[in-house]
Amino acid sequence: MKKFFQKKRRLLLFGSALFFLFGICFFCFKSCFISPDAQFEQFTDKLFENELSSNTLNLHYTLANPEKYGIKEKEISLGDMSPESFEKGKEDLKKLQKKLNSFSPEKLSKENQIIYDILRLSFATQLSAADDYLLAEPLGANLGIQAQLPVLLAEYTFRSPDDIKDYFSLLASIPQYFKSIVRFETEKSKKGLFMSDTTADRIIEQCNTFVENTETNYLHTMFQERVQKLQEEKQISKKQASSYITMHQKLLKESVFPSYSLLAQELEHLKGTGKNKNGLSHLPKGKSYYSYLIKNDVGDYRSIDEIEKDLYQQLLQYYNDVQKLSQENPALPESLNTETAVEMVEPEKILAFLQDTITKDFPALTVKDYEVKYVPKAIEEFSSPAFYLTPPIDTLNPNTIYINKGSSVSCPELFTTLAHEGFPGHLYQTLYFGKQNASPIRSCLSCSGYIEGWATFVEDRSYRYAADFLNISPASMEFLRLNRCISLCLYSLLDIGIHDKGWNFTAVSEILSSFGVTEEDVCHEIFQYIVENPANYLKYYLGFLNFSSLENTIRELEGDAFDLKKFHKNVLEIGPAPFPVLKKYLLMKY
């Protein structure tokens, strides 16, 4: 019996070994035959997780429920602007590019092929300028970090008390973040790449304005409103709310305001070290960096000469169109101001009209929850006329459009601005694509030329909608539309002239005067804005031209069968992408 038992035991062990061996083989077999799509999605999901985990503000605005995406423990951070972080970023990018190249795009689904093409183009483009990171400028009176951060903090959504704690940690991290920006600017100064005194003065003034009235700062006021809402929802008690408000005031005084004061002081110390008051072309490697910006930020991969030629042709076409319109309507120039001086209409009414009327040309999309707010008075001077804050991709709300009351606009201008920001512009495009169940990584792939180009493209169409709503003649609205196109085209040409051709203020003033802009302060503001924000106008206007070109291409292909709504639907479903990628996949649909 003893021997029998031992023999049986050996058989059992042998059977276990066979089972274990089979398990290993099965696991290896399964691992080897994970579908290419599944492997690629593991890669992009990890990339998505890493991208958002590095910046709490981006994470909060992108995801309402990060734990559902595998993002649990997160270090509270606004990021790092130190030169070391840029060097590390370059090495990380090389590794990502190598991993991406291991995939065979032809084995992927159509959606994953789009992502592959976007990443391939993006990685190559970013690496082409990775050594020139000191030519980047994080600060700026209009679009700089210090200008954008207060609004993003003011709109930081409190979904639960935990969000308040994260928000407090963010405020506490601002001193460290601003110190890294100061280090970055100091390094630029050492290399002779620091901003001009004019630019520095504008940022210093903004910082000082922000900290002038610490007791009544809008950050504190808006924080109280959000805490009050949590209290009304019974997520926190009255005692907790009071404690949070006290703590917030303390953090503003000890972390936020001193950081802005420090930034202003350090910029003051660095003044005089910036020798270039003109565009990028006056800096070493500035022209190649500008070319990189057009590719990376706009998504247009043509040569600058090709782009410039296109812009001049458009400008000539607009001029001819204006001449023709004026000949057909001789009284138009004199009657225009009177006819378009209509009574101001509430933004909500304009948005409701737009949401309904665009269904003739755009696919239907029901949106009930959106809100119009006004830019806090303290930052009116430095804010855009209007902007839309994108919601988290997993909730697609809240949807907020900010209007700057400090910008004097007519009713027709308000109408087209709301078309740009709302329907069928940013809000509509964001929610339409958000409902396509695209891969989360798409939210991290910056395609500003598509996003701003689309909004400008549909804003252009909205002039005809405004004619009906405001009871203004189509000829008058067409005149306003052409005037807007001429301005954007001209500013885009100035952008290229300043940053690629080396135009200075005198050259720009002479060009502007030929278009009737003779006031020196206006000319200076235009020049300074373009100097501080290279390629920014191109995101809007060049993006718009790319969409117009795509529409013309499809019209030629389809002939009488062309369907405008179908064209818009196809473009929206592909979603934000550099224009070579967008064109490739759009043509596949025809």
Whether residues 128 and 146 share a domain: the answer is: no
Identify the domain containing residue 62 by its residue range.
35-133
Statement to judge: residues 187 and 228 lie in one domain = yes
**Is pLDDT at 6 greater than 80 in this prediction?**
no
Residue 137 has pLDDT above 80, yes or no: yes
Q: Looking at per-residue confidence, does 20 or 407 come out higher?
A: 407
Show the tokens assigned to 51. Answer: 């991208």
Q: How far apart are CA 101 and CA 114, in angstroms?
A: 14
Q: What value, to the nearest 5°, has the Cα angle with vertex 71 and ends 69 and 73?
A: 160
Q: Are residues 146 and 261 in the same domain?
A: yes
- The amino acid present at 314, given as its one-letter code, is Q
Whether 321 and 308 have beta carbons less than 8 Å apart is answered as no
Structure token pair of residue 538: 């191109």
pLDDT band at residue 570 using 50, 70 and 90 as cut-offs: very high
Helix (H, G, I), strand (E, B) or coil at 373: strand
Q: What is the DSSP string of 45-106?
A: HHHHHHHHHT-HHHHHHH-S-GGGGT--S--------SHHHHHHHHHHHHHHHHHHTTS-GG
Q: Which residue has the higher pLDDT, 341 or 15?
A: 341
Q: For residue 382, name the pLDDT band (cuts at 50, 70, 90).
A: low
Please give the order of strands across the beta sheet that includes 371-374.
371-374, 400-403, 386-389
Amino acid of residue 491: Y
Cα-based distances in Å from 439 to 26, 394, 406, 444: 29, 11, 39, 10
Same domain, yes or no, for 241 and 328?
no
Between 460 and 14, where is the model more confident? Answer: 460
Is the pLDDT assigned to residue 107 strictly greater than 80? yes
Does residue 73 or residue 93 have the better pLDDT? 93
Confidence of residue 379 (pLDDT cuts 50, 70, 90): low
Question: Is there a domain that residue 8 lies in?
Answer: no
Average pLDDT value for the chain: 92
* Chosen domain end from 94, 111, 133: 133
Domain match, 150 and 231 both: yes
Euclidean distance between CA atoms 444 and 108, whole angstroms? 20
Cα–Cα distance, 419 to 543 (Å, whole number): 16
In a domain, 395, yes or no: no
Q: Is 281 helix (H, G, I), strand (E, B) or coil?
A: helix
pLDDT at residue 19 in the model: 43
Cβ–Cβ < 8 Å for 276, 194: no
Instruction: Identify the pLDDT of residue 406.
Output: 86
Q: Is the pLDDT score of 255 beyond 90?
A: yes
Shortest CA distance to 139 belongs to which of 93, 200, 198, 197?
A: 200
Residue 488 contacts residue 541 (beta carbons within 8 Å): yes
Q: Which two tokens stand for residue 427?
A: 């809000």
583 in any annotated domain: yes
Q: What tokens appear for 526 in the block?
A: 């235009």
Are 273 and 185 a contacting pair, CB within 8 Å?
Answer: no
491 CB contacts (<8 Å, ≥6 apart)? 526, 530, 537, 541
Question: Are residues 541 and 451 part of one domain?
Answer: yes
Domain for residue 62, yes or no? yes
Q: What pTM did the predictor assign? A: 0.92
pLDDT reading at 275 higher than 70 = yes
Higher pLDDT: 6 or 374? It is 374
pLDDT of residue 17: 45
Say how far apart CA 136 and CA 134 lie, in whole Å. Answer: 5
- Say which amino acid occupies 547: F
DSSP code at position 330: T
24 located within any domain: no
Instruction: Give pLDDT tens digits for 514-566.
Output: 999 999 999 999 999 999 999 999 999 999 999 999 999 999 999 999 999 99
pLDDT band of 32, cuts 50, 70, 90: low
Q: What is the mean pLDDT of residues 95-100?
A: 98
Q: 172 pLDDT band (50/70/90 cuts)?
A: very high
Lowest mean pLDDT among 25-34, 91-100, 120-129, 293-302: 25-34
Residues 66, 159: Cα–Cα separation, whole Å = 13
pLDDT at residue 195, as a whole number:
98
* Higher per-residue confidence, 383 vs 440: 440
How far is the C-alpha of 536 from the C-alpha of 226, rounded, in Å? 33
pLDDT above 90: residue 248: yes
Residue 405: inside a domain: no
Do 336 and 227 share a structural domain?
no
Q: Percent of the chain at pLDDT above 70?
A: 94
Residue, of 369 and 48, whose pLDDT is higher: 48
Share of the chain above pLDDT 90, in %: 82
- Counted domains in the chain: 3
The last residue of one of the domains, among 223, 242, 277, is 277
Average pLDDT for 491-506: 99
Q: What is the pLDDT of residues 285-310, one digit of tens each?
A: 999 999 999 999 999 999 999 999 99
pLDDT category of residue 125 using cuts at 50, 70 and 90 = very high
Give the pLDDT of residue 82. Answer: 87
Q: Give the bridge partners for 457, in sequence order.
A: none
Q: Based on the domain organization, do 263 and 145 belong to the same domain?
A: yes
One domain, residues 518 and 563:
yes
Instruction: Verify that 151 and 119 share a domain, yes or no.
Output: no
pLDDT at 122 over 50: yes
Tokens found for residue 274:
């910036």
Q: What is the largest CA-CA distance in the chain?
A: 117
Q: Which two tokens stand for residue 130?
A: 């990775």
Whole-angstrom distance, CA of residue 548 vs CA of residue 528 = 29
State whether 114 and 237 are in the same domain. Answer: no
- Position 74 in a domain: yes
Query: What would the pLDDT profile of 57-83 be if each residue is shown by its tens digit?
Result: 999 999 999 999 989 867 899 999 988
So what's the pLDDT on residue 30? 47
The residue assigned the tokens 């920006």 is 181
Confidence of residue 338 (pLDDT cuts 50, 70, 90): confident
- DSSP code for 552: H
Indicate if the pLDDT at residue 4 is higher than 50.
Answer: no
Average of pLDDT values for 474-498? 98
Q: Within this chain, do residues 251 and 306 fall inside the same structural domain, yes or no?
A: no
Residue 528 lies in a domain: yes
Quote the pLDDT of residue 13. Answer: 37
**Cα-to-chain-centroid distance, residue 515:** 31
Between helix 145-154 and helix 161-190 the angle, nearest 10°, is: 180
Judged against a pLDDT cut of 90, whether residue 567 lies above it is answered with yes
* β-bridge partners, 400: 371, 389
Q: Which of the four pLDDT bands, split at 50, 70 and 90, describes residue 378?
A: low
Residue 401: beta bridge partners? 372, 388
